Structure formats: structure tokens, C-alpha cells
């Protein structure tokens, strides 16, 4: 059925990207961010601060949970960058 307001459709917002397109765009953005020398240095620093860090036996539950959350975030960023480099 034709629209009665033909000529005004350019006011309509663009269709949102699908979840797959949105995820791929985000992965490609992460790949671009971490592709430079500065980006690689930043990711290496984040990995050293989180993945290569151990807490002592007297660490409390909150500190352990906090570090585990940081590790999860760094691994997520790293995985996004790898996915973006692979193109999907």
C-alpha cells in the first residue's frame, strides 16, 4: 500500500542494524582500535594488569571478584579484536 506522505520518508529514522551487523561492526571497530602500535601497547598493558596478575592468599572475596570482572572485560575486548580482524 503506498504511503500517503510520499516525499517525507527521509524524515524516518534509518532501520537499526541487525544484531549480527551490529556485532560485526563493533568487532571491526575493536580490531581497528587495537591494530595500531599504541592500541597493541594498551591491550598488552591491560593483559599484564589483569591476566598476568595474581592475588595473594589473603585477598578478600570482593578483590577476587573485581579482578575476575576485569579479566573478563580484557578477554572480551581481545576476542572482539580477533573477530574483527577475521572479518566476522
Does 2 reside within a domain?
Answer: no
- pLDDT score for 6: 65
Does 65 reside within a domain?
Answer: yes
Predicted confidence (pLDDT) at residue 3 exceeds the cutoff of 90: no
Return the closest-CA partner of residue 55 out of 73, 70, 43, 67.
67
Q: How confident is the model at residue 16 (pLDDT cuts 50, 70, 90)?
A: low
Q: How many Cβ atoms are within 10 Å of 36's Cβ, its own excluded?
A: 10
CA–CA distance, 15 with 20 (Å, rounded to integer): 14
Does 64 reside within a domain?
Answer: yes
Does 45 reside within a domain?
Answer: yes
Does 8 reside within a domain?
Answer: no
Does 26 reside within a domain?
Answer: yes
CA–CA distance, 32 with 36 (Å, rounded to integer): 7
pLDDT digits (tens, 9 = 90+) for 20-68: 667 788 999 999 999 999 999 999 999 999 999 999 999 999 999 999 9
**C-alpha cell read off for 48:** 599484564
**pTM of the prediction?**
0.71
Provide the number of structural domains found in the chain. Answer: 1
Q: Are 52 and 44 in contact (CB under 8 A)?
A: no
- pLDDT score for 5: 59
Does 10 reside within a domain?
Answer: no
**Integer-rounded Cα radius of gyration of the chain:** 21
Residue 65: give the domain boundaries: 18-86
Does 3 reside within a domain?
Answer: no
Amino acid at each position: 500500500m503506498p504511503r500517503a506522505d510520499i516525499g517525507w520518508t527521509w524524515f524516518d529514522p534509518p532501520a537499526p542494524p541487525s544484531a549480527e551487523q551490529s556485532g560485526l561492526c563493533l568487532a571491526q571497530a575493536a580490531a581497528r582500535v587495537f591494530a595500531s602500535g599504541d592500541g597493541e601497547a594498551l591491550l598488552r598493558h591491560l593483559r599484564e594488569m589483569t591476566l598476568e596478575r595474581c592475588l595473594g592468599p589473603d585477598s578478600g572475596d570482593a578483590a577476587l571478584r573485581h579482578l575476575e570482572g576485569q579479566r573478563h572485560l580484557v578477554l572480551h575486548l581481545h576476542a572482539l579484536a580477533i573477530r574483527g580482524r577475521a572479518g566476522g
